[in-house]
Amino acid sequence: MAFLSWVFVSGGMARQQAGRRTGHYLTALFLALCAVQAQPAAAAENPVADAARQAEKRLGARVGLAVLDTGSGERWSYRARERFPMASTFKVLACGALLARSDAGGEDRNRRVSIARSDLVTYSPVAKGWVGQEVTLDALCAATLRTSDNTAANKVLEALGGPASVTAFLRSIGDPVTRLDRWETELNEAAPGDERDTTTPAAMVNSLQALLLGDALSPSAQQALTAWLVDNEVGGPLLRAGIPADWRIGDRTGAGGHGTRGVVAIIWPPERAPLIAAVYITQTEASMAHRNEAIASIGRALADLVRAQP
């Protein structure tokens, strides 16, 4: 604009003012056109967030996700810093805490604990067969992560000293957000606005990275935790249904009140560094099948995005 003003000085004040008005108009028009053109490009750069946004509309829900490409460091997110109920996705953190304690010499993974009938809570497909027996802490974590057995999860929490011990462990590995306050099955209440037993997708991804790929656990403990996640028997309809069959995945799912559904995962596309993902849905009346399909659709969008990259 300074250049335009200088050019038209010789033409008098009227021409100078007219030049200024014309310059301002052209500048504003140019910026507006740039903004319009930029919108589709920005949307195309994050189809995973678009898939989450569309799922929100279909389900009448609140959806959050975070994905980390551990090779490039690139992140894709949607409502990644909002709190969501963890439901059973907390179980990977609890078993991670137990493994870390074992690494430090404070626990023995082969220690046996007894299972009493009074320990049983809703959905305990493995532990119900252990009543009256003693099982190792390793076996409890395997049941917790492979089948989401709630009694096994509570016995893991008991060995740690309760839910607050999981929160304390997370603080020690750099997670200032995630908190576990209750036991199974009360923690699945998932009341809107209640911060108990919640995380954010971003915080969960960071904690998973520390546990599975970072230095929070020894290599042998990482291998055990990863194997339990890969052997998950109840994650089929979620991210596993959306990614290609030749992609390896380890995950832990969760479900709770108020339409809560979630999955956290480590995913290995062929010949690429792993991805770490956390997807949460809450505050919806949509059916379980529709929530599962929404997460699968996010998996498909993620796969398309990754395959399109060089």
Contact 192, 258 (CB under 8 A): yes
- Beta pairing class for 275-282 and 62-69: antiparallel
Contact 91, 123 (CB under 8 A): no
Contact 152, 126 (CB under 8 A): yes
Is the backbone peptide bond immediately before 185 cis, with ω within 30 degrees of 0?
yes
**287 in active site:** no
Contact 148, 180 (CB under 8 A): no
Cross-strand partners of 134: 114
Alpha-carbon distance 281 to 219, whole Å? 32
DSSP 11: G
Assign 266 to helix, strand or coil.
strand
Of 88, 148, 165, 207, the active-site residue reads 88
252, two tokens: 């832990």
Alpha-carbon distance 86 to 194, whole Å? 12
CB atoms within 10 A of CB 150: 24
Burial class (CB in 10 A: 0-12, 13-18, 19+), 10: exposed
- Beta pairing class for 62-69 and 112-114: unpaired
Contact 235, 262 (CB under 8 A): no
Query: What would you measure as the largest C-alpha separation in the chain, in angstroms?
Result: 101
Alpha-carbon distance 132 to 115, whole Å? 6
Active-site annotation, residues? 88
